[in-house]
């Protein structure tokens, strides 16, 4: 009961803030909003001191005002806003476009507090670990970053290093948990009151944001993500990940290599250093797709502030708090989508959705294929700069509403990241042809997964599995003989609990039965027949 009251109070406070910025039920959009929302907006605006536009800061458009309101509400609402900015199917195209400028920036907390946190977390006075510590170089809603020089320790190789020290904001975990609990309460309430919203999976959306943000608030996990991404990219050119200093890293402190590079937004510096912005744009798209398809593990926050170009021209990324993972099934789905649109094979593309279970079977594959054609055909023949893979995925999600397709959280995060990555690449090269860059990566991955070599590899894996099963054949035959002997003497009697367990296991394995079970069944039949005859 207490949690419910606290959640309602926080949501009421959020509603007042939204009303203050005229973002709860914007006057410009009132005619499109449900009656209950319009009434709530009027009541909130009538609250003393909440006049329409009172805190807009000069922002004229509804999406801009919404972004300002969410930034005022704090980290959890900022994260939600950044995600919604990539979902025009939820907010509408205009609101989503206006909210793209929402930045995760906050005033820094004092460096003296940083030193206290470092000393407590690393269990040593900060000045025994670092020779110097700068004032904050960047401050966001969850953490801030300082530049530092390390002091050599007895158990370390090498001398002093220039490093980046990331430190969590004091009390951020508790603040974030309270806000996400309120948003989860609102999502559950929305699904209950508006069943049609279940297709958009608001509860799962908040759960996904909560999980990813909780990982951001354990900097050991961010360090591990950086380490994994670096390991995945060993031997690949044009991509670099800063080294983690594990000795000076804990739950609330992360120390890593300082990156001396040009921001990817600094086109003049890049050109002065002899780098081609168009080539860098291609590398951005190639790196993202390679990570998503080949590794199933990608940097999910690749905005301009997190990408630098080092002196060798390598893309160097920082801030690994938000990472995305795709299992093999999701990667196949993504590749099939892109490949289907590339080849304009809409029937095959429709079949993929049905085979994956994303579209319920009672719909028509052919009608769905027709809808996909309506999404794909307008792309072809357009100027390269007008083609967007992220926009295509967004339109795909919009079309699938008619076919009861539920939102897949991992694919939504991918689409969000793809939109950001495309924006970075377009800023470098407005005429970049996304399809041209993507095609060889997608086609190679499809060949690796479904081509002749993949079939040989799958056959070899099946043979190894068969060999492992056959290795247990003598034990299976002995067990079958024992079972047959007991059945001959006493008949077959099963405890009700055992029968229920067998039924559950049978149901669980209905899509594929282990070959060893078949071998045992055949052996049992042979033994039984031998006993009879």
Q: What is the pLDDT of residues 428-480, one digit of tens each?
A: 998 888 888 988 999 999 998 886 555 554 555 555 555 555 556 666 566 55
Are 84 and 209 in contact, with CB atoms under 8 Å apart?
A: no
Round to whole Å and give the CA distance between 82 and 79.
5
**Beta pairing class for 162-168 and 138-139:** unpaired
Residue 461's pLDDT is: 54
Round to whole Å and give the CA distance between 271 and 70.
37
**Beta pairing class for 315-317 and 239-240:** parallel
Q: Which of 53-62, 160-169, 237-246, 516-525 has the lowest mean pLDDT?
A: 516-525
Tokens 């509860």 belong to which residue?
A: 203
- Residue 84 DSSP SS3: helix
Which residues lie closer than 8 Å to 112 by C-beta, 6 or more apart? none
Which residues lie closer than 8 Å to 152 by C-beta, 6 or more apart? 158, 159, 160
Segment 20-39 mean pLDDT: 70
Instruction: Provide the terminal-to-terminal Cα distance of the chain, rounded to the nearest Å.
Output: 71
- Residue 307 DSSP SS3: strand
**What is the rounded average pLDDT for all residues in the chain?**
79
Round to whole Å and give the CA distance between 155 and 245.
13
Q: Which of 223-232, 316-325, 485-494 has the lowest mean pLDDT?
A: 485-494
Round to whole Å and give the CA distance between 37 and 30.
9
Residue 291's pLDDT is: 95
- Residue 407 DSSP SS3: coil
Cα distances (Å, whole numbers) of residue 284 to 5, 227, 425, 513: 46, 20, 6, 44
Round to whole Å and give the CA distance between 415 and 389.
9
Q: pTM here?
A: 0.72
Are 384 and 436 in contact, with CB atoms under 8 Å apart?
A: yes
Are 441 and 286 in contact, with CB atoms under 8 Å apart?
A: yes
- The catalytically annotated residue of 179, 245, 301, 429 is 301
Segment 294-322 mean pLDDT: 91
Segment 388-416 mean pLDDT: 74
Tokens 């599995």 belong to which residue?
A: 465
Round to whole Å and give the CA distance between 43 and 170.
35
Round to whole Å and give the CA distance between 325 and 414.
9
Q: Which helix (H) or strand (E) holds 346?
A: helix 346-355
Sign of the C-alpha dihedral, residues 166, 170, 176, 177?
Answer: positive
Residue 383's pLDDT is: 67
Two tokens at 45?
């605006």
Q: Which of 36-40, 225-229, 262-266, 529-533 has the lowest mean pLDDT?
A: 529-533
Is 301 an annotated catalytic residue? yes
- What are the residues facing 148 on neighbouring strands? 133, 163
Round to whole Å and give the CA distance between 76 and 106.
13
The conformation of residue 387, written as its DSSP 8-state character, comes to: -
């Amino acid at each position: 009961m207490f949690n419910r009251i606290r959640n309602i109070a926080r949501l009421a406070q959020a509603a007042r803030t939204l009303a203050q910025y005229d973002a709860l039920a914007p006057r410009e959009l009132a005619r499109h909003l449900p009656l209950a929302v319009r009434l709530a907006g009027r009541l909130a605006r009538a609250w003393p001191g909440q006049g329409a536009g009172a805190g807009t800061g000069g922002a004229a458009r509804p999406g801009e005002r919404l972004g300002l309101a969410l930034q005022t509400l704090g980290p959890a609402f900022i994260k939600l806003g950044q995600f919604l900015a990539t979902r025009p199917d939820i907010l509408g195209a205009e609101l989503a476009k206006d909210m793209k400028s929402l930045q995760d920036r906050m005033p820094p907390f004092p460096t003296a507090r940083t030193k206290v946190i470092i000393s407590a977390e690393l269990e040593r006075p900060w000045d025994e670990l670092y020779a110097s510590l700068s004032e904050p170089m960047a401050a966001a809603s969850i953490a801030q970053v300082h530049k530092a020089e390390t002091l050599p320790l007895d158990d370390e190789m090498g001398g002093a290093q220039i490093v980046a020290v990331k430190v969590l904001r004091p009390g951020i975990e508790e603040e974030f948990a309270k806000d996400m609990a309120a948003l989860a309460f609102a999502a559950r309430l929305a699904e209950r009151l508006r069943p049609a919203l279940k297709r958009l999976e608001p509860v799962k959306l908040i759960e996904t944001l909560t999980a990813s943000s909780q990982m951001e608030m354990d900097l050991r996990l961010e360090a591990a993500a950086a380490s994994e991404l670096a390991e995945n990219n060993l031997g690949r050119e044009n991509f670099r990940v800063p080294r983690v200093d594990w000795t000076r890293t804990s739950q609330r402190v992360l120390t890593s290599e300082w990156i001396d590079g040009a921001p990817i937004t600094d086109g003049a510096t890049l050109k002065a250093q002899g780098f081609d912005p168009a080539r860098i744009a291609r590398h951005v798209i190639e790196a993202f797709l390679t990570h998503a398809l080949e590794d199933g593990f990608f940097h999910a926050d690749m905005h301009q502030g997190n990408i630098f170009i080092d002196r060798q021209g390598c893309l160097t990324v920082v801030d690994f708090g938000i990472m995305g993972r795709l299992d093999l099934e999701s990667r196949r789905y993504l590749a099939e989508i892109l490949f289907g649109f590339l080849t304009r094979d809409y029937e095959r593309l429709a079949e993929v959705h049905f085979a994956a279970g994303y579209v319920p079977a009672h719909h028509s594959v052919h009608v769905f294929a027709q809808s996909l054609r309506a999404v794909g055909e307008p792309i072809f023949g357009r100027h390269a700069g007008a083609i967007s893979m992220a926009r295509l995925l967004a339109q795909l999600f919009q079309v699938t509403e008619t076919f009861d397709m539920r939102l897949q959280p991992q694919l939504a995060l991918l689409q969000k990241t793809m939109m950001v990555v495309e924006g970075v690449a377009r800023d470098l090269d407005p005429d970049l042809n996304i399809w041209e860059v993507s095609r060889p990566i997608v086609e190679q991955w499809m060949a690796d997964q479904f081509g002749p070599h993949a079939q040989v590899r799958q056959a070899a894996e099946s043979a190894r599995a068969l060999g492992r099963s056959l290795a247990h054949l003598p034990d299976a035959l002995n067990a079958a003989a024992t079972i047959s002997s007991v059945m001959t003497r006493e008949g077959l009697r099963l405890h009700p609990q055992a029968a229920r367990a067998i039924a559950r296991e049978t149901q669980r394995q209905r899509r594929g039965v282990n070959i060893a079970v078949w071998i045992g069944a055949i052996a049992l039949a042979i033994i039984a027949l031998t006993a009879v005859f």
